[in-house]
Chain A
Amino acid sequence: MRKKILAATCIAVIIFAMMYQARSQVTLTIGIFAGSNWNVPQGETYAIINEVRKNFEAENPGVRVKYVSGIKKEDYSEWLAEKFIAGSEPDVFFVLAEDFNLYASIGALMNLENLIAADESFSSDVYYTSALNFGKYENISYALPCESNLTFMFVNKTLLAKENIALPKNNWTWKDFSEICRKVTRDTDGDGIVDQFGCYDYSWQQAAISNGVKFFRDDGKTSYFADSRMEEAIKFLMELRGLNKGFEVSPKDFDVGRVAFRPFTFAHYRTYKPYPWKIKKYSSFEWDCVKMPAGSSGGNISAMDSLLVAISSRTRNKDLAWALLKKICYDKTTQQLILKKSQALPVRRDVITSVEAQEIFSWDSNETAAIATIDISSAMDEAIMPFKFKNYNSAMLYADTEIHKIITGIVPLNNALNKLQKEINAQLQH
């Protein structure tokens, strides 16, 4: 009996020792995908995260941070899901916008509200509202934004100069937009085929957003497609389409400089404006970007996408994970690093409004870049947050198909939006 007790004590001591050993060397894992979230080429994929890791490990002795490298963005969603099923998900991980709702709804993400409330060194005021709210599900924060991206209108300066049209101002409207489009849309070589166009890839969503349309109620149970402003947006798109006289515009047309406007994200601008990408793409013309044209009932606004980072609800090191999350999404040094190294925008207001930021946004000092005149900070303030409730993707896909039919004239506009709204509401409420 005594021997048994002795043996049991020995085993207990060994287990405790092992647990202590395990405790003293904590390993945090980060889930990250290779490349940019914004579909643009990126050079040093892990530069920022390596820096974060180095700083974090220096600040927290005995803590190791590791990540699995080489997971492509298109594989990341599946990779993360597999990790969750195997029970070995990372402590802190990047969440793709389309995955956020799923993980938040199944309780995979840690509720950050208590951590935020308890942490005096943290204030959510530094974030732009749209970016912060992007990490909320049913009004509870489950993730923090790490970088954001805005949509701007690319302008082919060479083409406009050729047509003697002045570069549009940042407060331009649909009227200015359609006027320029009308002017530039023509057959330049006289073969009877229209080969110069006003715009490419200007979506009904972008038009509607800049006309002040809100597609859904916040809870995602009702849609507002029958809004009169929505009708205005559709009519405007039909008008633009009418200018092309039945010819379809291809991305190649834009690349070779035969299209005046194309909406692009800020990440695109950051990627293709400086060397070396500047040579690779759009080298045959000068370009710049301006804010999206304002609709008659809206403003020069666009949607702001954000890349989110969350903590697993099953993490064993809650406090360290929170510290790491803050290191990525809140730490000023990291945010400045994002400003320098990433193509997207940092999420901290003070970093965006810093002098360095202003310098970076207008590095073409020899030319008067239009973007330099854009107040990025106010644009981020104005930007609306994309919806991402559970059935958002399917509802939007359906709406896109139907609206495409209206714009291309397959379905008459008359009552089509009312019908669409009813159908989508029915889908949402199921």
Chain B
Amino acid sequence: MLKVGTDMQKFLNVKEMHRLLYGYNGFVIFTLMAFMCLTQERIYQAMTARAFLESAGAVPPASDVIFFTTTVAFVLFILVGYFYRKSQRRHVRYCLFAAEIIICMFLMRFLNLSYDGIVLLVVADLMYKYEGHRQEYTLLVAMICLYFIANYNMAIFQTKIISFEAYASYYNADAKAVILAIKNTFYSLNIVCFVFYLVLLVKNKHEEKERIRLLNEKLEEANQRLRAYAIEVEQMAETRERNRLAREIHDTLGHALTGIAAGLDACIMTLEIAPEVTKQQLNKIRDAAKKGITDVRRSVKKLRPDDLERLPFQQALMEMTRNYSESSGMEITFDIFSWSDNLRQDQEDVIYRVLQESITNAKRHGHATKVKITIGGNEKYLLIVIADNGEGCDEVKQGFGLKHMRERLELLHGTIHYWSDEGFIVEAMIPLNREVDNDKSFDS
């Protein structure tokens, strides 16, 4: 916060310098104008008008006209400059800048081109607002153009211009030297101010960039912390899930199995003595086992993703990818060539998880922006290809995710292949209509 504060202070300095530049130019213009007006008055009174006209080579406007036009033009110049700096819209800004140049030309004309420092004021305004990449070139071109305009101005008005020397020549040689020296000092001082202003401006812009860079660094740091936190949260969720699973198993399967084991113990005891009772008892045990199976089923159901429960499978897939795409900004497209309608629940689960894992990998490891999912096959097998445009990797390290995918697919006698091309590609194949080992499935 402290740093931002000092930066603001420096920015204010540039503004102050800009104001100073305006103020100084106003002062110089007013002084030169007053000098010309007063000289004209003196010439008028000293009866040397004819000689002055001869050396001037043009008819000067009357003093009051000079005063009025110059003042009005300078006020206009300030206003246009102000609106130029304030304006947000580009076209308006261009128009205002053009107006500023025109007023600058007129102002120089009114001052008989004796002071072209005002051109620098225009450049200062241009620099103040301009924030492009090629700032230096723009400045250079603008300067050249403006000086060209100034000289062109001079060429147009050549015949109608009274040189400052003609005014200065009215006074004696000593006074003339002093007057010319003062005028040159005015000009030089203006250049010094201008250069100082530019230095401030460049420094200011540099500092601003530095500040932005620092802020970016902080942001990155915060991001990283957030990511770590997310991983932590994920792990906690996993632990919690595991505990829940353990509880579930303990409550349902453990309960049923304990009951069954106890019942069976009783049966062993009564088998010889009372086979009828044992038979009844075994029936009860079977019921308990069936109930256990139902409980387990219910538990497994609880573990399934919500979408899979709620929606038809294909829609659930769409929903999942759409959600992910929305949250991650990754573009996910589907190409479904063929589809098997009678997928078993376990097959659906595996497909769902494979897609979910692949998309997550594409984002997390490949930093992909686009993922294309293609699903096809025939009545014997289903083929799923997930291709992303991410970074890929030369040597695929089989992490937890890939390993799990492989394990899940192997349960269904499926296969998985993955490789890097233009991004990362995962290809999963699941055989259809094949009897799977019922032991490994809860399906009956």
Contacts and interface: CB of A to CB of B under 8 A. Distances in A.
A85 B62 CA distance: 6
B47 A106 contact: no
Interface in A90-109: 99, 102-103, 105-108
A102 B62 contact: no
A86 interface: yes
A102 B58 CA distance: 9
Which of A99, A103, A106, A107 has the most CB atoms of chain B within a 10 A radius of its CB? A106
B58 A85 contact: no
A81 B52 contact: yes
B59 A106 contact: yes
B141 interface: no
Interface residues on A, range: 10 to 19
A78 B44 CA distance: 9
Nearest to A105: B57
Nearest to B53: A81
A81 B62 contact: no
A190 interface: no
Contact of B62 (A80, A86, A107, A313): A86
A222 interface: no
B52 A85 contact: yes
A98 to B, nearest CB: 10
A88 interface: yes
Contacts of B112: none
Interface string B34-71: 00000010011001011011101111111111000000
Decide if the interface of chain A is mainly helix, strand, loop or mixed.
helix
Interface string A54-87: 0000000000000000000000011011101111
Contacts of A103: 53
A78 B57 contact: no
Contacts of B44: 82, 85-86
Contacts of B49: 78, 81-82, 84-85
Nearest to B65: A87
A355 B399 CA distance: 129
A314 interface: yes
A107 B159 contact: yes
B47 A78 contact: yes
B163 to A, nearest CB: 13
B59 A102 contact: no
A107 B47 contact: no
Contact of B59 (A78, A99, A108): A108
B160 interface: yes
Nearest to B162: A106
Nearest to A77: B50
A102 B52 contact: no
B62 A88 contact: yes
Contacts of A85: 40, 43-44, 49, 52-53, 59-60, 62
Contacts of B65: 87
A84 B57 CA distance: 13
A316 to B, nearest CB: 13
A80 B43 CA distance: 13
Contacts of A105: 57
A86 to B, nearest CB: 6
Contacts of B43: 82, 85
Nearest to B56: A106
A102 B159 contact: no
Contacts of B63: 86-87
B50 A81 contact: yes
Contacts of A84: 49, 53, 59
A107 B58 contact: yes
Interface in A275-326: 313-314
A276 to B, nearest CB: 35
Nearest to B62: A87
Contacts of A77: 50
A314 B47 contact: no
B58 to A, nearest CB: 5
A97 B219 CA distance: 85
Nearest to B159: A107
Contact of B53 (A86, A87, A102): A102
A106 B57 contact: yes
A102 B57 CA distance: 8
A106 B61 contact: no
Contacts of B57: 105-106
A99 B60 CA distance: 17
Interface in B359-397: none
Contacts of B159: 106-107
A82 B59 contact: no
Contacts of A108: 53, 59
Nearest to B40: A85
Given A85-B40, A85-B43, A85-B44, A107 B50 contact: no
Contacts of A87: 61-65
Contact of A82 (B47, B56, B61): B47
A107 B157 CA distance: 11
Interface in B18-45: 40, 43-44
Nearest to B57: A106
Nearest to B49: A81
B156 to A, nearest CB: 13
A384 to B, nearest CB: 26
A88 B160 CA distance: 18
Contacts of A81: 49-50, 52-53
Contact of B58 (A78, A99, A106): A106
A1 B155 CA distance: 47
Contact of A102 (B54, B60, B160): B54
A244 to B, nearest CB: 39
A205 to B, nearest CB: 24
A394 to B, nearest CB: 12
A111 to B, nearest CB: 13
Contacts of A313: 59
Nearest to B48: A78
Interface in B332-366: none
B59 A314 contact: yes
Contacts of B47: 78, 82
B313 to A, nearest CB: 69
Given A78-B47, A85-B43, A106 B53 contact: yes
A180 B52 CA distance: 50
B329 to A, nearest CB: 51
A85 B160 CA distance: 14
A79 to B, nearest CB: 8
A99 B51 CA distance: 11
A196 B272 CA distance: 193
Nearest to B43: A85
24 contacts: A77-B50, A78-B47, A78-B49, A81-B50, A81-B52, A82-B44, A84-B59, A85-B53, A86-B40, A86-B63, A87-B61, A87-B63, A87-B64, A87-B65, A88-B62, A99-B50, A103-B53, A106-B57, A106-B58, A107-B58, A107-B59, A107-B160, A108-B53, A108-B59
Given A85-B44, A106-B159, 19 more contacts: A77-B50, A80-B50, A81-B49, A81-B52, A81-B53, A82-B43, A84-B59, A85-B52, A85-B59, A85-B62, A86-B44, A87-B61, A87-B65, A102-B53, A105-B57, A106-B57, A106-B59, A107-B58, A108-B53
Interface of A: 77-78, 80-82, 84-88, 99, 102-103, 105-108, 313-314
The 7 closest A-B pairs by CB, nearest first: A87-B62, A81-B49, A81-B50, A82-B49, A108-B59, A106-B58, A81-B53
